[in-house]
Amino acid sequence: METLSVRGKDFVAQKPTFFDVLGDLWDPKFNPNGIVNIGLAENTLMHAELEDFINTNSKFTTHALTYGDGFSGSHNLKEAICHFLNNQLSPTTALNPSHLAITSGVSNAVECCAWALADIGDYILVGRPYFNAFKTTLGTRPDIKLLEVSFGDIDPFSLEAVQVYQNAYEEARGKGLRVRALILCSPHNPLGRCYPEHVLREYMRLCGRSGLHLVSDEIYALTVWDNPRIKDAPRFKSILSMGDQPVMDPSMIHAVWGLSKDFGATGLRLGCLISQANMALIEAAEGISLYNFPSSLADQVATSLLRNDEFVGDYIVKNRMRLADSYLFATEFLRNHGIPYLESNAGLFVWMNIGAAVQGDPITDHEVVERLRKEKVYIATGAVYASEETGWFRMVFAHPKDVLEEGLNRLLRAIDVSQ
Ligand SMILES: Cc1ncc(COP(=O)(O)O)c(C=O)c1O
């Protein structure tokens, strides 16, 4: 007898493949034959500091044992996030708690946008390559489709790229498709770069002209560091700080942020949807907040963290230094072994062309993945991110050097056919 519904069976097929990686993680002492995970977007560089902060500062109250202030985050956390983001993102209009809905991770905040800004079968524009889970968060439950924009030789961070979006939008409209929004990942996952301010403004103009919502995923807002090889690379500019020259309807501008990346705390499951001029969107998110309700223990931990300016200030500085250091270590290794990559100064990634570096006869990405699996190192293939070219992979460098060294040596073994 069939035990699952049709959609239940679809969900089985969507179980993330990296769960196998997490079930057998390399540890030099306890699991030396395990898999080195330099593929999943996590930053472990500041774990010791955060662990210590949480263990020293956590004092939970019974409020955490209740439904709290509702399902969309406590008043205290909303205030703490506003305090923190007002300092870090310099929004044109200061954030206040009514602008936020707290969710259990940024994935859920993105999903709220899909539920509330688009209907089944509608489209959201996204440029290639893009963060793979947009397909899941926008598609799996809300049933929104991604309209992928290909750039060819055009730099995705240039003004020309905005025109490519415009063309894609018009073509879709010509075919009768309903396009509701454009999602930007700013700073970008997987390319690890920030959009220049004038380009962001042009995206806003495009959305304004076309009546599109602009969703800016700013989960890597503070994960920007100095890369001496690209000294002039743009720094991060939040969409919330661009209201001085209004070029689109402010009720169509939305941002998401959370603690998963900037605080290296994917397990806390805390994110937020921010919309400063669209109370209906926040209320819609509250309407489905039972499904996005973060744990009140996580809520209280995040509140004490974000209220502590001194700890947070030190954390950000140290995190940036360690990111810069690990990035240089990883990219020096790649340079020394002739593996091409694109420079970055944001996010946790090195976007590299393993296909171009493979010794001997050219092989497919699938074959590269097989070899990486055999050598027990996890690095995600570009196909997952809808890369326009084959050969590209996304490596995560935000780990201590011993992890990087082990993972990169395994990578070398995997691509050197003479071994
Ligand atoms: C751009 C982007 N948005 C959202 C997420 C999801 O974050 P969370 O773990 O808070 O759901 C990720 C995680 O990799 C990401 O890279």
Average pLDDT over residues 55-59: 93
How many CA atoms lie within 13 Å of 115's alpha carbon, on the beta-carbon side? 21
Q: Does the C-beta of 264 come closer than 6 Å to ligand 1?
A: no
If you measure from the C-alpha of residue 398 to the centroid of ligand 1, how many angstroms do you get, rounded to a whole number?
A: 15
What is the whole-number distance in angstroms between the Cα of residue 107 and the centre of ligand 1?
Answer: 6
Q: Which pLDDT does position 187 carry in this prediction?
A: 98
Longest dimension (CA), the chain: 64
Q: 106: Cβ below 6 Å to ligand 1? A: yes
Q: Would you say the CB of residue 217 lies under 6 angstroms from ligand 1?
A: yes
Amino acid at 388: E
Q: Is 396 in the pocket of ligand 1 (CB under 6 A)?
A: no
CA of 106 to the centre of ligand 1 (A): 6
Please tell me if the CB atom of residue 258 comes closer than 6 angstroms to any atom of ligand 1.
Answer: yes
Ligand 1 binding pocket includes 131 (Cβ within 6 Å): yes
pLDDT at position 68 over 50: yes
Q: pLDDT per residue over 230-267, tens digit each?
A: 999 999 999 999 998 889 999 999 999 999 999 999 99
* Closest C-alpha residue for ligand 1 atom 7: 106
142 cis-preceded (ω within 30 degrees of 0): no
Report how far Cα 65 is from the mean position of its chain's Cα atoms: 30
Q: What is the pLDDT of residue 96?
A: 98
pLDDT of residue 73: 97
Q: In this structure, are residues 106 and 294 in contact, taking their beta carbons and an 8 Å threshold?
A: no
Burial of 400 (C-beta count, 10 Å sphere; 0-12/13-18/19+): middle
Distance 133 CA to ligand 1 centre (A): 8
In this prediction, residues 25-32 reach a mean pLDDT of 96
CA-derived radius of gyration, the chain: 21
Lowest mean pLDDT among 10-14, 70-74, 136-140, 288-292: 10-14
Q: Which residues of the chain are in CATH 3.40.640.10 domains?
A: 61-308
Class of domain 61-308: alpha beta
CA of 134 to the centre of ligand 1 (A): 9
CATH number of the domain at 6-48+312-415, out of 3.40.50.150, 3.90.1150.10, 2.30.30.30, 3.40.50.300? 3.90.1150.10
Contact 284, 26 (CB under 8 A): no
As a whole number, mean pLDDT of residues 386-401 equals 97
Is residue 213 within 8 A of residue 108, CB to CB? The reply is no
With cut-offs at 50, 70 and 90, classify the pLDDT of residue 403. very high
347 closest CA partner among 198, 170, 189: 189
Query: Cα(255)–Cα(373) distance, rounded to whole angstroms?
Result: 36
List, by residue range, all CATH 3.90.1150.10 domains of the chain: 6-48+312-415
**Which pLDDT value is given to residue 13?**
87
Looking at the CA of residue 260, tell me the nearest atom of ligand 1. Answer: 10
CA 65 to centroid of ligand 1, rounded, Å: 27
Expressed in angstroms and rounded, the spacing between residue 89 Cα and the centre of ligand 1 is 18
Q: Rounded CA gap, 330 and 205, in Å?
A: 38
Ligand 1 close to Cβ of residue 406 (< 6 A):
no
Quick check: 417 pLDDT over 90? no
pLDDT exceeds cutoff 70 at 44: yes
Beta-strand pair 123-127/145-149: parallel
Q: How far is the CA of 43 from the centre of ligand 1 (A)?
A: 12
Q: Using a 6 Å cutoff on CB, does residue 105 contact ligand 1?
A: yes
Q: What mean pLDDT do residues 339-346 have?
A: 98
In angstroms, the Cα distances linking 308 to 85, 95, 97, 319 are 13, 18, 18, 16
Confidence band for 367, pLDDT divided at 50, 70 and 90? very high
The Cα 45–Cα 400 span in angstroms is 6
Atom of ligand 1 nearest to the CA of 110: 4
Segment 132-158 shows an average pLDDT of: 96
Cα angle 284, 290, 291; round to 5: 90
Q: Of 238, 306, 252, which Cα lies nearest the Cα of 102?
A: 306
pLDDT, average across residues 182-203: 98
Compute the mean pLDDT over every residue in the chain, rounded to the nearest whole number.
Answer: 96
Q: What is the mean pLDDT of residues 174-201?
A: 98
**pLDDT average, residue stretch 3-11:** 92
Instruction: Check residue 419 and give its pLDDT.
Output: 44
Q: What is the position in ligand 1's atom list of the atom closest to the CA of 220?
A: 1
